[in-house]
Structure 1
């Protein structure tokens, strides 16, 4: 094996380490200069996109139904906190548990097929769940669950205070990102990448590919549920928008813009889309048209996504320190 091949993982790690350290430093000081609620929205959707990227970027499974896990967790969390009186941390864990159960069911059906057939199964199942949310009594139909109290974290930290809520969201986001990083850099993650690159070869090596696919699907659903439950606490409501097919399409767009298969790429994609939606909401020009134009430009010019192109650029090579021999 060549020296360049041996140094490639270290180089990528160095690039991402630099970006991560800069990003964490900015996030710590950001709420003192930027509207905290907007930042919390970015963090929730960034975690959502990174969880989705775990399935698409590292396992090679395209899901058009991830809104079921995101919105389902939001509903479960909102109902548990408002109706059952759960604390915010227990409410979020309830949402994660619900999303994990949904991921197990939908994933079990989706991995039995490949390619477009698997993708359409995820879309169909997500639409069925969206219809259930429309009809179920506990979701309150088109009105959704509103007025969800933020409550007290661990019984004494008032989450109604914007800074307390922000740093709680930041802490959960960092924990979720660490979990994703640990998964993709473990032997399990290496097997997922081998399945993505050549499934038949992974099978010939004796790996139970179906089990690894299902495990990745469930993990992605659980982390997506973490983002959805967090979003319900931040905005204090859960609605049908969270389980719609548009939400599934939006997370695909975030991941593609940021860079599929990169650790920090989906974060930048989510930040870009959230910023456009926030600052162009009052514009007469439709936001969806602008995001569509950006997506087309990205596909035609930046095939690897924003961060993927950065890694391949001269600037990316400058960010990477040379590994010691």
Structure 2
């Protein structure tokens, strides 16, 4: 019979080896993904790619709140569209540079998140979701009536300008790599946030809020911090999006936009870092390639959503992580 000490030693090595394997595999996937994103403009239309990256960042920002804090917001279009309006107005009317315009949009979205979160976090569950929806609709009607948003026409012909006064963003290639850089910065911020002690506390609140309270944590403050961070990152996506398409309209702040980001997150996988990216890619691709076809986009998207809900309860990436291959590679620990 084998020595018990040797058996225990061998068993203890398995988690460490699996973790190391998972880290190497994850790093390889990320490296391949980065290379594909760098060369993607050679094979795909840059505007399509930039739209995908903006919505992927938007979905990841929303997932920061839903997947890691357990708060379902029906009002995230407020931050996405609000930042789009702030950036577009600042760049077009005030003549700010694109980086300052986007920064202003992020700050504006964070302020909106602070105000909305202050009221919303006082309730839980469906009441929290309804409060965010109500406040979002109030902001929608504000944008409809406000003078600087130009009502139903929106802010059009927004100049892209020169990044840091040097790089001409009117060229699609330059604009794409600027959007890619913003997307990567946003993803690094999200990764650092969820892997920090603050992120660990958010996960504990999601799993058992009462226990987090019993441990002495101020749950309301942590929820508000997560809400503001999610709003700021959603604003980052919205501000860049207004420069990509050179306009900001009521569509960006409508409740349908909040529904789209929820759909993207559910399709990709709640509580996974890269799941919302795949969900956003699926939805944006369907919208792009079905727009000129005879198939109604909303119906096709609804069918895809139904199939994923019935067959992929954890989302596409979530199911992969939970599969035998995902467990073998150690991805169930890389959420």
Query: So what's the TM-score if we normalise by structure 1?
Result: 0.95
Task: State whether structure 2 residue 320 is matched by structure 1 residue 310.
Answer: yes
> Does 2:62 match 1:67?
no
**Hey, what's the Cα distance between the residues in 2 that align with 1:53 and 1:8?**
27
Q: Which residue of 2 aligns with 1:209?
A: 219
Aligned to 2:259, the other structure's residue is in SS state helix
Query: 1:40-72: CA deviations, max 9, x gaps?
Result: 000000000000000000000000000000000
User: 1:314 and 1:239, CA in 2 relative to 1: closer, same or farther beyond 3 A?
Assistant: same
1:293 aligns with: 303
Q: Is the 8 A contact 1:15 1:311 kept in 2?
A: no
- Cross-structure match for 2:134: 124
Structure 2 residue corresponding to 1:257, chosen from 246, 252, 267: 267
SS of the equivalent of 1:238 reads coil
Contact 1:50/1:255, CA 8 A, preserved across alignment: yes
Structure 2 stretches lacking a partner, 5+ long? 1-11
Could you say if the C-alpha distance between residues 216 and 16 of structure 1 is closer, same or farther in structure 2, counting changes exceeding 3 Å? farther
* Matched residue count: 322
The alpha-carbon deviation at position 21 of structure 1 amounts to 2.0
Are residues 1:38 and 2:53 paired? no
Q: Is 1:93 the equivalent of 2:103?
A: yes
Are 1:81 and 2:91 counterparts?
Answer: yes
Gapped regions of structure 1 (runs ≥ 5):
none
Alpha-carbon spacing, 1:8–1:301, altered in 2? closer, same or farther (3 Å): farther
Q: CA deviation at 1:313?
A: 1.8
Look at both structures and tell me which one has the larger radius of gyration over its CA atoms. Answer: 2
Once the two structures are TM-superposed, the CA of residue 233 in structure 1 deviates from its matched residue by 0.5
Alignment counterpart, residue 150 of structure 1, candidates 150, 154, 160: 160
Instruction: Quote how far apart the aligned CAs of 1:76 are.
Output: 0.2
Cα drift, residue 17 of structure 1: 3.2
Question: So what's the TM-score if we normalise by structure 2?
Answer: 0.92
Question: RMSD of aligned C-alpha atoms?
Answer: 1.9
| 1:8–1:66 distance in 2 versus 1, CA, 3 Å | farther
Check 1:224–1:202 CA distance in 2 against 1; reply closer, same or farther (3 A cut). same
1:243-292 per-residue CA deviation (whole Å, 9 max, x = no partner) reads 00000000000000000000000000000000000000012221111111
* Equivalent-residue separation in structure 2 for 1:33 and 1:289 (angstroms): 28
Distance 1:15 1:65, change over 3 A: farther
Query: What is the CA–CA distance in structure 1 between the aligned matches of 2:313 and 2:25, rounded to whole Å?
Result: 19
